[in-house]
Structure 1
Amino acid sequence: MTDKPLGFDTLAIHAGAKPDPATGARQVPIYQTTAYVFKDADHAARLFNLQEVGYIYSRLTNPTVMALAERVAALEGGAGAICCSSGHAAQIMALFPLMGPGRNIIASTRLYGGTITQFSQTIKRFGWSCKFVDFDDLAALRAAVDDDTRAIFCETIANPGGYVTDLDAIAGIANEVGLPLIVDNTTATPWLCNPIKHGATLVVHSATKYLTGNGTVTGGVVVDSGKFDWSASGKFPSLSEPEPAYHGLAFHPALGPMAFTFHSIAVGLRDLGMTMNPQGAHYTLMGIETLGLRMARHVENARTVAEWLEADPRVEAVTWAGLKSSPWHDRVARIVPKGAGALFTVAVKGGYESCVKLVDNLKLFSHVANLGDTRSLIIHPASTTHRQLDEAAQVRAGAAPNVVRISIGIEDAADLIADLDQALNAATV
């Protein structure tokens, strides 16, 4: 190895992975164990005091899961990472050290429907709240910040519509007001975008999607940039002050850039228990090895299919940001220069009923509540993922009743177009 920084595809294969010291196994083994034998009482005490990095109990850390955390952190350019049981778990884990009763976050209106529900309904049970703002209205974003705001949240490429967030502008405001910016990078992946380079404090992923890439795993990851000063404002006492939930340790003064990561393990995973299983981590590690290859094909296919759909008279509109007609096209070169991802929506002439017929008549596309698979996927959000929202909220989220969401896979693009063509014929007659 040299001192030169390693390339993306090299990190995707090697980061976090070393030959197993016991056997020499080249692939990261699945450490299917609950607990780990301490060398002696002093060794155990050092581990619990966070004076030494090691393994205590697999709800906290596990060698297979830790290898995945190190790999994703390396790809995102972060100081550390925590793996969780799902993408939704990752979002709660990201907020947990920052929030308290009466505190709020500000989130983009353009989010996955499940995230909107989590933020508008579920987090109320913790005494937290969320203000939803159009992140293209920077003045409204600034105005929404109050003394109880603790974070700003958005997606790099929003699900379902493929909207590209101006991360530089949002990070600028977060920096002005002294708040962490949390970016969901699931649909972009670190191959298309590193939000930390654009000013993000924390990056969250649903590893269920492109990172694993084959529809076999439910998992999530939180990556910490290590760059935020948790002690500057007094707003984050769990990190800056003695933590009563961990024998009075002041995480940020003691651990600096790794404060958030260690707090999330020692307190978050310990008490919330939203742990990724080692077999899931193993599958995700293998998936990430080909992430760069897959994403290049995903984006290439997305361009081919989106351009074909935009020109089709049976279609009202296509939201892929790589199209010159997209209002977000000018952000692509700056935020996601390798391409606008492979997720977008299609407004079908004939409205709700035509969307249902389109979904029911596709043969190659799979009708599933997922995205980021090697297989091409489709869903009608208004009747599924976003059905809990009223129509106005569906429209704001990019999931109007006449819209289907498409996740383009890595099949032959000509076959995908042929399948859409015959299904559109059936849907719009």
Structure 2
Amino acid sequence: MSTEEPNAAASGAAEIDAGRSGSAARTDAAPPHLDWEGFGFDTRQVHAGEYADRNSGLRVPPIALSAGYVFDDFEDGVARFGGRSDWRGAASTSRGEVDAFTESEPAPVYSRQGNPTNNVAEQRLASLEGGTVSVAVSSGQAAISAALFALAGQGDHIVSTASIYGGTRILFGRSFKRFGIAFDYVWDAADDAEWERAIRPETKAIYTETIPNPRNDITDLRRIAAVAARYNLPLVVDNTVGTPALIRPVEHGANIVVHSTTKFLTGHGAAVGGAVVDGGNFDWAAAERAGRSYPLITAAPRPGLASMLDRFGDGAYARAVREAVVNDIGPTLSPFHGFLLHQGMETLSLRMRQHVDSSLEIAAWLEQQPEVESVDYAGLPSSPLHELAARDYAGRTGSVFGVTVRGGVDGARAFFDGLRVFSRMTGIGDTRSMVLHPLTSTHSTFPDELNARLGITPGLLRLSVGLETPEDLIADLRGGLAAVARR
């Protein structure tokens, strides 16, 4: 071999050694993606919000089990408390380049307000919902409470659509009432006169659900968003049953989205959590000029310190939720549950496909059975809401719906006790299918006349269809209906 010819083996070894040393290879390598804007939903549900662990390069962000965080110095502490600091200030590395892993993480202060593990889930959910910032909290009820406490206080008022989860109605009618916040309900969202009667000068928000639980009587978000805009009110939407895999309320005019992350987002029923997503699209200054006051967002908290709106722009509402509600009241999400949440979101669209495919098949089968009086599933062609379902959901309205069996409470009892694959329990959005009788559970404290108006009848059962084989679920339902027939 000529002395002028390169030694391939030697150059290969040199490349390997350079890679081991890390200097040349890391200097020339393109940094990993951190900003996932513009990527597809499936890509973002896997990657958005992630960072590589600085200590050992772990591919999956670790669980940050720490109550507090060390400040670099005096000024770093000042910056963190002021919300002006990214992790280690996006500092340069020893080689002079900016560390690619620093810019996506806000520097934590204390785990009551935020945590690096939970921040992964927060960034991922904000990306999937099309919002600016999200705030993770300890449960779905905590998410609803935090979202509305940032908008309303004693003497204020909120308007909600009538068909919402029973636990949310209890929250509004009991705890919010004790705090001096009043609620009114609109039964016909298409009736402008009803909105006109419900909305007052002290009204601070409109609240609704994409897919109300338990009856799948889906909401026309565009119609309600137009009402909210006309009255300079933020629209708060619970998208727990819909999930961003099926519908993204911000795209339909909503301003704030809440979730019980316990359900479909986590997906396996092993962790309780909630989240508030700031759509970043509400004009708080215009609302203030129109007489709708939101002091936590638009007012200076003290002389010399600018308002949340001036400091944080389109993330001001989320900052108010985090700083003025979650920090004060303390509904903190465990970082272990935050880890389970961002892991669960990695497969959200895949799971929702199976949930909905099975639900469509099962709902269509159920409405043909002689023991069934009705099936409340907007995705069925027979539903009066099918046109809306086709327009906004492509006919795929989740996997939580109602089925009414013949025989009232006795028929419901026979059906309920006749099931073996469906778990008899409270909860929705699990890998496991579940069944519940709303009249004797979630709506058991409501007056008879209210339940009748809500359609919570003695024979109504709520189904949450899981990921089991659809044929097995139908066989199980057949056994439950056989028990109804034998009565």
Shorter chain as denominator, the TM-score bin is over 0.9
User: What SS class does the counterpart of residue 121 from structure 1 fall into?
Assistant: helix
The residue identity in structure 2 corresponding to 1:428 is A
1:157 and 1:163 in contact (8 A); partners too = yes
Going from structure 1 to structure 2, the CA distance change for 1:285 and 1:402 (only over 3 Å counts) comes to same
Which structure 2 residues correspond to residues 123-138 of structure 1 after superposition, within 5 A?
Answer: 123-138=176-191
**1:267 lines up with 2:324 in the alignment:** yes
2:137 and 2:331 in contact (8 A); partners too = yes
**1:223 lines up with 2:280 in the alignment:** no
Q: State the partner residue of 1:36.
A: 69
User: What SS class does the counterpart of residue 141 from structure 1 fall into?
Assistant: helix
2:36 and 2:47 in contact (8 A); partners too = no
Going from structure 1 to structure 2, the CA distance change for 1:247 and 1:363 (only over 3 Å counts) comes to farther
Q: State the partner residue of 2:208.
A: 154
**1:382 lines up with 2:436 in the alignment:** no
Q: State the partner residue of 2:160.
A: 107
Which structure 2 residues correspond to residues 74-113 of structure 1 after superposition, within 5 A?
Answer: 74-113=127-166
Once the two structures are TM-superposed, the CA of residue 270 in structure 1 deviates from its matched residue by: 1.1
Q: State the partner residue of 2:311.
A: 254
For structure 1, the 5+ residue unaligned runs are none
Once the two structures are TM-superposed, the CA of residue 247 in structure 1 deviates from its matched residue by: 8.2
Q: State the partner residue of 1:181.
A: 235
Q: Greater CA deviation, 336-345 or 162-171?
A: 336-345
User: What SS class does the counterpart of residue 259 from structure 1 fall into?
Assistant: helix
The residue identity in structure 2 corresponding to 1:243 is P
Cα deviation code 1:383-414 (max 9, x no counterpart):
01110112222233332221000001111111
**1:205 lines up with 2:262 in the alignment:** no
What TM-score comes out, normalization by structure 2 length?
A: 0.86
Which structure 2 residues correspond to residues 1-40 of structure 1 after superposition, within 5 A?
Answer: 5-40=38-73
User: What SS class does the counterpart of residue 197 from structure 1 fall into?
Assistant: helix
1:113 and 1:397 in contact (8 A); partners too = no
Q: State the partner residue of 1:71.
A: 124
Q: Percent identity?
A: 39
Q: State the partner residue of 2:294.
A: 236
The residue identity in structure 2 corresponding to 1:410 is L
2:52 and 2:58 in contact (8 A); partners too = yes
Q: State the partner residue of 2:416.
A: 359
Cα deviation code 1:304-357 (max 9, x no counterpart):
100000000100000011111111111112222261111110010001111012
Q: Give distance in 1, aligned partners of 2:327 and 2:182.
A: 24
Once the two structures are TM-superposed, the CA of residue 4 in structure 1 deviates from its matched residue by: 7.6
CA RMSD of aligned residues (A): 1.5
Q: Give distance in 1, aligned partners of 2:207 and 2:258.
A: 10
User: What SS class does the counterpart of residue 151 from structure 1 fall into?
Assistant: strand
The residue identity in structure 1 corresponding to 2:75 is D
1:350 and 1:428 in contact (8 A); partners too = no
Q: Give distance in 1, aligned partners of 2:269 and 2:411.
A: 27
Q: Give distance in 2, aligned partners of 1:31 and 1:396.
A: 47
**1:49 lines up with 2:101 in the alignment:** no
Q: Give distance in 2, aligned partners of 1:247 and 1:314.
A: 69
Query: If you compute each CA radius of gyration, which structure gives the higher value, 1 or 2?
Result: 2
Once the two structures are TM-superposed, the CA of residue 369 in structure 1 deviates from its matched residue by: 0.7
Going from structure 1 to structure 2, the CA distance change for 1:187 and 1:4 (only over 3 Å counts) comes to closer
Which structure 2 residues correspond to residues 273-422 of structure 1 after superposition, within 5 A?
Answer: 273-337=330-394, 339-422=396-479
Q: State the partner residue of 2:23.
A: none
Q: Give distance in 2, aligned partners of 1:288 and 1:135.
A: 34
Q: Give distance in 1, aligned partners of 2:361 and 2:133.
A: 37
The residue identity in structure 2 corresponding to 1:173 is V
Q: Greater CA deviation, 140-149 or 359-368?
A: 140-149
2:211 and 2:241 in contact (8 A); partners too = yes
Q: State the partner residue of 2:7.
A: none
1:110 and 1:396 in contact (8 A); partners too = no
Q: Give distance in 1, aligned partners of 2:220 and 2:37.
A: 30
The residue identity in structure 1 corresponding to 2:242 is A
Going from structure 1 to structure 2, the CA distance change for 1:201 and 1:55 (only over 3 Å counts) comes to same
Q: Give distance in 1, aligned partners of 2:451 and 2:65.
A: 42
Q: Greater CA deviation, 371-380 or 249-258?
A: 249-258
Cα deviation code 1:193-234 (max 9, x no counterpart):
000000000000000100011110110010001111112232
Once the two structures are TM-superposed, the CA of residue 132 in structure 1 deviates from its matched residue by: 1.1
1:160 and 1:398 in contact (8 A); partners too = no
What TM-score comes out, normalization by structure 1 length?
A: 0.97
Once the two structures are TM-superposed, the CA of residue 243 in structure 1 deviates from its matched residue by: 2.3
User: What SS class does the counterpart of residue 232 from structure 1 fall into?
Assistant: helix
For structure 2, the 5+ residue unaligned runs are 1-32, 86-105
1:85 and 1:277 in contact (8 A); partners too = yes
Q: Give distance in 2, aligned partners of 1:58 and 1:321.
A: 41
The residue identity in structure 2 corresponding to 1:408 is V
Cα deviation code 1:100-143 (max 9, x no counterpart):
11111001110100001111221011110110111434321233
Cα deviation code 1:12-61 (max 9, x no counterpart):
10000121122111112100000000001110011112222311100011
Going from structure 1 to structure 2, the CA distance change for 1:247 and 1:397 (only over 3 Å counts) comes to farther
User: What SS class does the counterpart of residue 321 from structure 1 fall into?
Assistant: coil
Cα deviation code 1:160-219 (max 9, x no counterpart):
001110000000010011000000000010000000000000000000100011110110
User: What SS class does the counterpart of residue 463 from structure 2 fall into?
Assistant: strand
**Larger RCO (alpha carbons 8 Å, 6+ apart):** 1
Q: Give distance in 2, aligned partners of 1:345 and 1:138.
A: 25
The residue identity in structure 2 corresponding to 1:238 is L
